[in-house]
Structure 1
């Protein structure tokens, strides 16, 4: 197992290109199951989670040719089981449930795992599928689903679940009749999946809104599609540039989906210029503490909460960070405190009192975005920071050490 070693205190300088969005690529790969044939997918990031879902789809008979585009051949579906061994490492694997019941009329999918940041149950997925005519049975940790052709219906989601919206939208594309998803998630990655489904021939209205209307079709066709860029990766590099008082241009960025992040960074005193596809961060200025509350899109994303907390740990004054999406998403606080951060937790709020300087120390990553926060803090800390359990990072950041090294960071990945 590797670790990342950082010699902090170096302002980042240069240009970094953002990779494809993991949280769009995963459901899009699952959606290829809906249309037998050969798909061509561009801008797929090189991540551990992508390798996991490719292994999962491979079990079902899907064949791949690596490259850009990634060629996905779903002509022969030979299985419909998602085993615990794969699903336990990545909860997004549950996204094969909707496509499988729509195409194969059956599925057996292990209950999901993934990051240790709360329960995140899939009850809304199952409730929605049952309303569409799917018979659900929970058996020894597996969701066993069977159906004749799905039927369209109106589904009101209790909360705007992202993967729930995606699963039900995918299933509805091949249902008989019309499905309305009310209180649907509006995240850009959900909209990106919807546009891919439309490219395959699906009939979807309301893309990007909280009400999706899906008119089922008899069949879908393979498609070529370019996955959107990763807004969380973009936000992470912007935060890294800001905390080191660096001068960095973040390119291939989905700026139209960064509004909430950029507004808070502006309020915190980060100097930048943004256009349609890039953000130029300019060093200098003083960081100020600002309050943040995580919310569903278009609010401030929970996946940037930890990185913003790292930035606030060296800002002037205090900030209150409120987490409303997931419970147990302050696990990284203890590790940031090892670097000298002054953070107090009360329920779903963290009060961060900025310090002039952080100090390097050994720390341990607990989940994907917590890992990123420790990297950001380590870049600003004086001395050496060692980040352990970095396999979390491999799930969501492509070529992280290489990209940071190109920006001048003194960072290396070495055996632990």
Structure 2
């Protein structure tokens, strides 16, 4: 397996272009199954997860072509659709479950394997299942596959309240409801920018959706959807990750395409820690205000709160802060697996259940460490950039799922980083 070699070398300065959002694109791509007309996505990120979703959609009968070096995706589902999503593809990525709603809406039935993905908690499918059952689906789990069919061959609108504001469940139900008969209301819906992006794309395709970005989304079903061209929203997690580079190392970096509303809660915590974040015409400019980073407490929450997907990266920063920080993880269990690796670099961290207490040290030390999931892998790279000596991060196959050309982007601001091929 490949590794990443990082050498701490002081302040970082320059410009980094931020890619389109992985999580948004992975929800937008299955929307092609809702229509026989072409769907074109621009600003698509070039990631292994996008390649996996491409493979899955093609196995279902859709056509997917990457144009302009993969930054434009041309999708079409004109031909016959296969309603079985196979385990060998679905197991690679959690977001594969997002084909369930569109297949049910278009075909009236679907057989979809239970998904895989990062080992950061159970993340059960019950919210998806209960939402689709409210729309009239009958769903049975057999041999690791969800066998779903719409009663009478057609989904019907319904009112529902999600037990948790799940992004994936909201997306699956939204897509299914666009072709359901009647009106669907999702209460306690997820409010993330990726939800707003999906709703905007579906509206371009002819869907009738209101309320995205709030906790109540209403969808009036239509008979058919058409084609559309849509630009994928900026990746707020990639944005937040690279915002931490000058915060942890010093210097000043401008993130092209960044917007404050995407990372407002995160930027507020950086400000408290002693990091300046300002909006420019082209994006966001980030620099340390001067002196050592200050300790801050962080609690992960659904949007617009502090993102769970930036918790590991924030911990890397707080390892070198002045004082003691407390990080509380309220979204996923098992999401402090990067902490033991940071300890190998000289960090002082105590984990008790869903809470991690971080006592800042003046300097981290380079070490051999192992990535356990996507966000943990980049947190270790950030720590390595701030450490004395060399850090080697192994098992970085996670990294390519969510970060486009990560070594190239870090090198562009002066980092000493290279990939070691296995």
TM-score by length of 2: 0.97
Asked if the contact 2:292/2:322 (under 8 Å) is kept, the reply is yes
Q: How large is the Cα RMSD of the aligned pairs? A: 1.0
CA distance in 1 between counterparts of 2:91 and 2:10 reads 38
CA distance in 2 between counterparts of 1:38 and 1:270 reads 44
CA distance in 1 between counterparts of 2:217 and 2:360 reads 43
Aligned to 2:127: 124
- Of 285, 290, 297, the residue aligned with 1:291 is 297
Give 1:219 deviation, angstroms: 0.3
Asked if the contact 2:312/2:376 (under 8 Å) is kept, the reply is yes
- 1:33-90 alpha-carbon deviations (Å, 9 max, x no partner): 1011211110010001000000000001111221243111211133111111111110
Q: Does 1:198 align with 2:217?
A: no
CA distance in 1 between counterparts of 2:24 and 2:78 reads 22
Matches of residues 105-116 of structure 1 in structure 2 within 5 Å? 105-116=108-119
CA distance in 1 between counterparts of 2:219 and 2:364 reads 51
Give 1:286 deviation, angstroms: 2.4
Give 1:15 deviation, angstroms: 0.3
Q: Does 1:398 align with 2:401?
A: no
- Of 339, 342, 345, the residue aligned with 1:339 is 345
Matches of residues 36-75 of structure 1 in structure 2 within 5 Å? 36-67=36-67, 68-75=71-78
Give 1:98 deviation, angstroms: 0.1
CA distance in 1 between counterparts of 2:65 and 2:166 reads 32
Asked if the contact 1:250/1:278 (under 8 Å) is kept, the reply is yes
CA distance in 2 between counterparts of 1:183 and 1:290 reads 29
Return closer, same or farther for 1:276/1:151 CA change in 2, 3 Å cut-off: farther
CA distance in 1 between counterparts of 2:39 and 2:77 reads 8
- Of 403, 413, 416, the residue aligned with 1:407 is 413
CA distance in 2 between counterparts of 1:231 and 1:303 reads 10
Return closer, same or farther for 1:208/1:246 CA change in 2, 3 Å cut-off: same
Give 1:8 deviation, angstroms: 1.0
Matches of residues 263-274 of structure 1 in structure 2 within 5 Å? 263-274=268-279
What is the count of residue pairs matched by the alignment?
Answer: 416
Asked if the contact 2:301/2:331 (under 8 Å) is kept, the reply is yes
TM-score by length of 1: 0.98
Give 1:276 deviation, angstroms: 6.1
Consecutive unaligned residues of structure 2, counting only runs of 5 or more, are none
Return closer, same or farther for 1:322/1:252 CA change in 2, 3 Å cut-off: same
- Of 243, 251, 254, the residue aligned with 1:249 is 254
Give 1:226 deviation, angstroms: 0.2
Asked if the contact 2:259/2:284 (under 8 Å) is kept, the reply is no
Aligned to 2:106: 103
- 1:112-167 alpha-carbon deviations (Å, 9 max, x no partner): 11010000001111111111111111110000111111000001111101100000
Asked if the contact 2:299/2:327 (under 8 Å) is kept, the reply is yes
- Of 375, 381, 386, the residue aligned with 1:380 is 386
- Of 86, 91, 95, the residue aligned with 1:92 is 95
CA distance in 2 between counterparts of 1:387 and 1:363 reads 5
Aligned to 2:31: 31
SS of residue in 2 equivalent to 1:100:
helix
Aligned to 1:79: 82
Aligned to 1:308: 314
- Of 281, 285, 298, the residue aligned with 1:280 is 285
Asked if the contact 1:256/1:276 (under 8 Å) is kept, the reply is no
Consecutive unaligned residues of structure 1, counting only runs of 5 or more, are none
CA distance in 2 between counterparts of 1:286 and 1:8 reads 17
CA distance in 1 between counterparts of 2:339 and 2:65 reads 41
Q: Does 1:9 align with 2:15?
A: no
CA distance in 2 between counterparts of 1:282 and 1:120 reads 36
Q: Does 1:329 align with 2:335?
A: yes
CA distance in 2 between counterparts of 1:132 and 1:203 reads 17
Aligned to 1:176: 181
Asked if the contact 1:230/1:254 (under 8 Å) is kept, the reply is no
SS of residue in 2 equivalent to 1:395:
helix
